[in-house]
Structure 1
């Protein structure tokens, strides 16, 4: 594989683990709710099951990354995620759907964490390329799925999962091939200590990011469906929204390049979270088509920049042997927030009878995350660390 293609091929792992496995669910969710008669809490639980799998995968990565290496965990994760997506389309049983969503999240953790570490070996540009790969999945699902459901109806949701799984097969193969060409950053049996307490603002902000953003990505399509006056325009509105989201994630690395380059503090993450919070709140204050599409523009242009910022912070502040462990710890905190987010937003919406209130709470959490991230300093500027050195 040509060196210039490696970051793009590796980004297929982000497309599978996030663009399809996590965000594709938001487009399929309304059809599953209708066909399976799910309430918001049950719909949120399926995404929470995915997040629980992601959390377990992240916790196990902390332990196994120094033993098995990033390349092995990345490849195994992307294969498991692809198989789980195919399995989602082969059952209508709620318990089996919960299991397959869990397994998809479990595999996605290793893919996302270790893919971020491997991209860090290639450089800052490769980091943002890898994470923006999630936009590939969003772009493709947004261009196709709303129209498919418009013509075939809610019972077509199993076909949607099978189609997504089929697309993920070549993406997984390309990502696994790319991973093999990258030098393994971890040394088997060796880990490096790192000052996690001094990374607290960045890490806690990442937890709140997981808590807040996932509610928007899970329920926004359902919100759009309920707030579109003309039923015949639901497919076009949701399709354009998701295509904008996906396209903006691919453009985002260029837009954020100047802010991200050379910065070792929390400003890149804080700035991305501020834009994300604004985008998440916008439809609630502008409940029309313009507000929806502008929201997609802001969210798509910032959502994958948050994990890119965390990875860049770790890469620029910590020794190479600590990257895998630090990324796994950060992602575990993110996964805890992501696990709570969907079911909490669903519960709030069920209790208040308004999905808008649940989404407003998630936007407020994202704003809090932004303020926390802005407090993060480069590690060499922290007095206790400087004295220790």
Structure 2
């Protein structure tokens, strides 16, 4: 048996390993794509539709394995699923630095998405096994803040590499991010080897129990709205500011880094708020805030609108996944938290798989991203309305507060 100090220390180390997993699988592999996109597009001669398809391919891979990864983590434990998935992400990013055409890039983006799904779901479900219900939202937020660290890092690193290496900068960006992610894989493996109960596995996936829960389907629809609305912003952020608004790549990178810097606090902040006022009310506040942010971003000709949009999006960036992850633990307890979160992520994944392709096509046809951001804003507002209508009540707790 662990003494209290050892258990607290191990809990913090487990949360840190989850943070690293999210940093590599989402912060680098997904959100780094937005800053790498402009130079990668020019080098390979791609259209926005093709770039959107690549992003959708990544999200489709994420969606598929988020479900399977969640089930596997519930059945076999988080350590194997998380570290194996994270290794796949690192290798995929490394190889992306060597691609010569659209097809090669698409395949590797899909594989990176598969790895991201397994790593992220396993990481976000860790608090259900290690943290009490009253602090679960805060712990989930600390893990989710890995995405923010990735935003800050890529916002500064990618423009510097592009400036120093010209047309090869985007390749060196993928190589560097891939190496760092493989290092994170080793660290996570070492930390989680010492965790005696990283997950409570009992040889069952819990798919039937999770899939039969009507409330979970309703929350899934709400999560779908987030996947569909936020993905347009994070995928075409750099391309919109550089190619359409006319900002320099460095300035766009600084704004992206500001989003990342602010987002470091979004998970812990909103996770803590959800611990106090409830998951449903918190989701409503977040969705309406993001709706305003997306609406302002569509007014790109006014720099103040862009600035306010960046601030509002940054302070809410990873809050919805944080609250949804905490809800999964609340509703199903540690035994089925991974399966429940994987199930919810299926809805989220469908939304973010559709978004980039549709947005890229609209941008190619209309010559502007304005309509896509207005659509995204409307979807976020709908998510807020659904949240308050669906999740006003308290969830049933299958696990007592420890």
The two structures share one fold, judged by TM-score above 0.5: yes
Pairing 1:80-99 to 2, within 5 Å after superposition? 80-99=88-107
Tell me, in whole angstroms, the C-alpha distance in 1 between the residues paired with 2:379 and 2:263: 22
Tell me if structure 2 keeps the 8 A contact 1:265–1:376: no
Structure 2 unmatched runs, 5+: 1-5
Tell me, in whole angstroms, the C-alpha distance in 2 between the residues paired with 1:288 and 1:265: 34
2:81 matched residue in structure 1: 73
Tell me if structure 1 keeps the 8 A contact 2:90–2:178: yes
Tell me if structure 1 keeps the 8 A contact 2:76–2:201: no
1:235 matched residue in structure 2: 249
- Counterpart selection for 1:108 from 106, 116, 129: 116
2:147 matched residue in structure 1: 134
Tell me, in whole angstroms, the C-alpha distance in 2 between the residues paired with 1:254 and 1:198: 25
2:202 matched residue in structure 1: 188
Residues 1:217 and 2:272 aligned together = no
> How has the CA–CA distance of structure 1 residues 159 and 129 changed in structure 2, closer, same or farther, with 3 Å as cutoff?
same
Tell me if structure 2 keeps the 8 A contact 1:227–1:287: no
1:166 matched residue in structure 2: 179
Tell me if structure 1 keeps the 8 A contact 2:74–2:199: no
Tell me if structure 2 keeps the 8 A contact 1:10–1:179: no
> How large is the Cα RMSD of the aligned pairs?
2.3
2:248 aligned counterpart, secondary structure: helix
Tell me, in whole angstroms, the C-alpha distance in 2 between the residues paired with 1:353 and 1:273: 28
Cα deviation for residue 5 of structure 1 reads 3.9
2:356 matched residue in structure 1: 342
1:287 aligned counterpart, secondary structure: coil
Tell me if structure 2 keeps the 8 A contact 1:202–1:266: no
- Counterpart selection for 1:47 from 41, 50, 55: 55
Tell me, in whole angstroms, the C-alpha distance in 2 between the residues paired with 1:381 and 1:69: 25
1:275 aligned counterpart, secondary structure: helix
TM-score (norm 2): 0.88
TM-score (norm 1): 0.90
1:9 matched residue in structure 2: 17
Tell me, in whole angstroms, the C-alpha distance in 2 between the residues paired with 1:54 and 1:258: 27
1:90 aligned counterpart, secondary structure: coil
Cα deviation for residue 10 of structure 1 reads 2.2
1:198 matched residue in structure 2: 215
Corresponding pairs, count: 380
> How has the CA–CA distance of structure 1 residues 274 and 242 changed in structure 2, closer, same or farther, with 3 Å as cutoff?
same
1:285 aligned counterpart, secondary structure: coil
Tell me, in whole angstroms, the C-alpha distance in 1 between the residues paired with 2:153 and 2:28: 9
Tell me, in whole angstroms, the C-alpha distance in 2 between the residues paired with 1:202 and 1:61: 20
Structure 1 unmatched runs, 5+: none
1:270 matched residue in structure 2: 284
Tell me, in whole angstroms, the C-alpha distance in 2 between the residues paired with 1:185 and 1:295: 38
1:147 matched residue in structure 2: 160
Tell me, in whole angstroms, the C-alpha distance in 1 between the residues paired with 2:204 and 2:393: 22
Cα deviation for residue 117 of structure 1 reads 0.8
Residues 1:176 and 2:189 aligned together = yes
Tell me, in whole angstroms, the C-alpha distance in 1 between the residues paired with 2:283 and 2:72: 27
Cα deviation for residue 313 of structure 1 reads 1.1
> How has the CA–CA distance of structure 1 residues 276 and 267 changed in structure 2, closer, same or farther, with 3 Å as cutoff?
same
Tell me, in whole angstroms, the C-alpha distance in 2 between the residues paired with 1:250 and 1:175: 20
Moved beyond 6 Å, runs of 4+: none
Tell me, in whole angstroms, the C-alpha distance in 2 between the residues paired with 1:381 and 1:188: 24
Cα deviation for residue 258 of structure 1 reads 4.5
2:3 matched residue in structure 1: none
Deviates more, 1:27-36 or 1:234-243: 234-243
Tell me if structure 1 keeps the 8 A contact 2:285–2:384: yes
